[in-house]
């Protein structure tokens, strides 16, 4: 299963790496694709949506 999240505050490669690392550490996540231009994160796997959102906000970014 895949789910897309709108993320605010991302603007550079550091942002991309921080979000990928944070979301990638959530149990059940099998893949993470960050699109800086669109401001989205595509998450593959069976991870809990709340944990994914917490990982994004924990990395310092907002979830719309």
Per-residue pLDDT tens for 7-44?
999 999 999 999 999 999 999 999 999 999 999 999 99
For residue 12, CA distances in Å to 2, 50, 55, 62 come to 24, 25, 18, 15
pTM value? 0.94
Give the pLDDT band (50/70/90) at residue 2: very high
Task: Give the span between the Cα atoms of 59 and 41, in whole angstroms.
Answer: 13
Give the pLDDT band (50/70/90) at residue 51: very high
- Contacts of residue 61, defined as CB under 8 A and 6 or more positions apart, other chains included, come to 7, 8, 9, 10, 15, 18, 19
Question: What is residue 10's predicted lDDT score, i.e. its pLDDT?
Answer: 96
């Amino acid at each position: 299963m895949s789910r897309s999240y709108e993320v605010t505050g991302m603007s550079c490669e550091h942002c991309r790496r921080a979000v990928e690392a944070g979301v990638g550490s959530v149990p059940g996540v099998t893949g993470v694709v960050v699109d800086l231009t669109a401001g989205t994160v595509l998450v593959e796997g069976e991870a809990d949506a709340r944990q994914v959102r917490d990982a994004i906000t924990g990395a310092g970014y907002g979830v719309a």
